[in-house]
């Protein structure tokens, strides 16, 4: 709420679904970049169930009003990911993860993540058309902000499910990587906006398959 100039929600929570491409079209109705010395102001209003989401966009004295029909929300998938159940946690400067994704073979179907209190500490692996690739981070790396690993875990996650999170990675300055005992993955990206305010974008992903010792 702190990143908004005004934030008022009368109910405890409000949930609805809207078409993402329509929302993006509305947000960029003045173009993707503002003219020098100008900025686009946004006001969002929602009267309640059955009403559209109202967007008021103002730039240079011109106001555009958009109404987006709301839809019934899908039931949210609850991973039941609780901080008290976290087994391993690493906080990494986002620069390090961006470089790793650039070096790894994204033709691989899975990204294998190893977190361990001992070597290799934190390893990212892919298995693509050009062969296997690994990127290792020692726990005392300059890119490592925090390292709290209690046990060795190796899990694989579908790259197709992780790719959408790279948009948040590109904007972030730090990323928290956590896993629980079942191997569920939490990626929490810390993003600092133009005013220096901080917000977080979180992604959750279930492990793709069990890894046997013979595959490691």
Q: Is residue 213 assigned to a domain?
A: no
Q: What number is the average pLDDT over the span 199-210?
A: 86
Domain-located, residue 216: no
- Of 42, 76, 110, which residue constitutes the final position of a domain? 76
pTM above 0.85, yes or no: no
State how far the alpha carbon of 121 is from the alpha carbons of 86, 153, 200, in Å: 16, 10, 25
> Does 127 lie in the same domain as 159?
yes
> Are residues 199 and 180 part of one domain?
yes
Question: 48, 76, 104: which is the final residue of a domain?
Answer: 76
Give me the number of domains the chain comprises: 2
For residues 19 and 108, membership in a common domain is answered with no
Whether the predicted pLDDT of 213 surpasses 50? no
**Same domain flag for 15 and 104:** no
pLDDT value for 196: 83
Side-chain-facing half-sphere of 216: CA atoms under 13 Å = 12
123 forms bridges with which residues in the sheet?
114, 136
In this prediction, residue 35 carries a pLDDT of: 62
Residue 215 in any domain: the answer is no
Tell me, yes or no, whether 210 lies in a domain.
no
Asked if residue 111 and residue 185 are part of one domain, the reply reads: yes
Domain range spanning residue 18? 1-76
Same domain for 40 and 95, yes or no, is: no
- Can you give the CATH number for the domain in which 161 is found? 3.70.10.10
Give the residue with greater pLDDT, 210 vs 42: 42
Q: What is the pLDDT of residue 94?
A: 94
131 assigned to some structural domain: yes
Per-residue pLDDT averaged across 151-173, rounded? Answer: 92
Please tell me whether residues 23 and 120 are part of one structural domain: no
User: Cα–Cα distances in Å, from 106 out to 66, 115, 130, 132, 202?
Assistant: 39, 20, 10, 11, 22
Which residues of 69-211 form beta strands (DSSP E)? Answer: 86-93, 110-115, 122-128, 131-137, 144-149, 153-158, 174-180, 185-192, 198-205
Question: What pLDDT is attached to residue 154?
Answer: 95
Domain shared by 72 and 15, yes or no: yes
Residue 2 has pLDDT above 90, yes or no: no
pLDDT digits (tens, 9 = 90+) for 108-157: 999 999 999 999 999 999 998 888 989 999 999 999 999 999 999 999 99
Q: How many of the other CB atoms lie within 10 Å of CB of 111?
A: 24
Average pLDDT over residues 27-31: 85
pLDDT of 37: 66
Identify whether 186 is part of a domain: yes
Q: How far is CA 20 from CA 25, 64, 69, 119, in A?
A: 9, 19, 11, 43
| 132 in the same domain as 65 | no
- Of 76, 97, 132, which marks where a domain is finished? 76
Kindly indicate the confidence band of residue 185, based on its pLDDT and cuts at 50, 70 and 90.
very high
pLDDT band at 159 (very low <50, low <70, confident <90, very high): very high
Mean pLDDT of 40-62: 92
**Spatial CB neighbours of 70, under 8 Å, sequence gap ≥ 6:** 16, 17, 18, 46, 50, 51, 52, 53
pLDDT score of 46 more than 50: yes
| 8, part of any domain | yes
């Amino acid at each position: 709420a702190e990143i908004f100039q005004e934030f008022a929600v009368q109910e405890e929570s409000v949930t609805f679904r809207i078409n993402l491409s329509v929302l993006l079209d509305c947000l960029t109705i003045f173009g993707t970049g503002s003219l020098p010395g100008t900025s686009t102001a946004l006001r969002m209003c929602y009267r309640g169930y059955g009403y559209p989401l109202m967007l008021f966009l103002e730039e240079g004295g011109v106001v555009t009003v958009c109404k987006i029909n709301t839809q019934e929300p899908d039931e949210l998938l609850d991973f039941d990911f609780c901080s008290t159940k976290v087994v391993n946690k690493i906080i990494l400067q986002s620069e390090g993860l961006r470089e790793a994704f650039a070096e790894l073979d994204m033709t691989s179907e899975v990204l294998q993540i190893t977190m361990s209190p001992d070597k290799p500490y934190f390893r990212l692996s892919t298995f693509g058309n050009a062969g296997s690739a690994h990127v290792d981070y020692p726990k005392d790396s300059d890119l490592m902000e925090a390292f709290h690993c209690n046990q060795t875990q190796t899990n694989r996650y579908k790259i197709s499910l992780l790719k959408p999170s790279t948009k948040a990675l590109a904007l972030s300055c730090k990323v928290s990587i956590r896993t629980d005992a079942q191997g569920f993955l939490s990626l929490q990206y810390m993003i600092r906006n133009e005013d220096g305010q901080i917000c977080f974008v979180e992604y959750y992903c279930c492990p793709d398959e069990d890894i046997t010792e013979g595959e490691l």
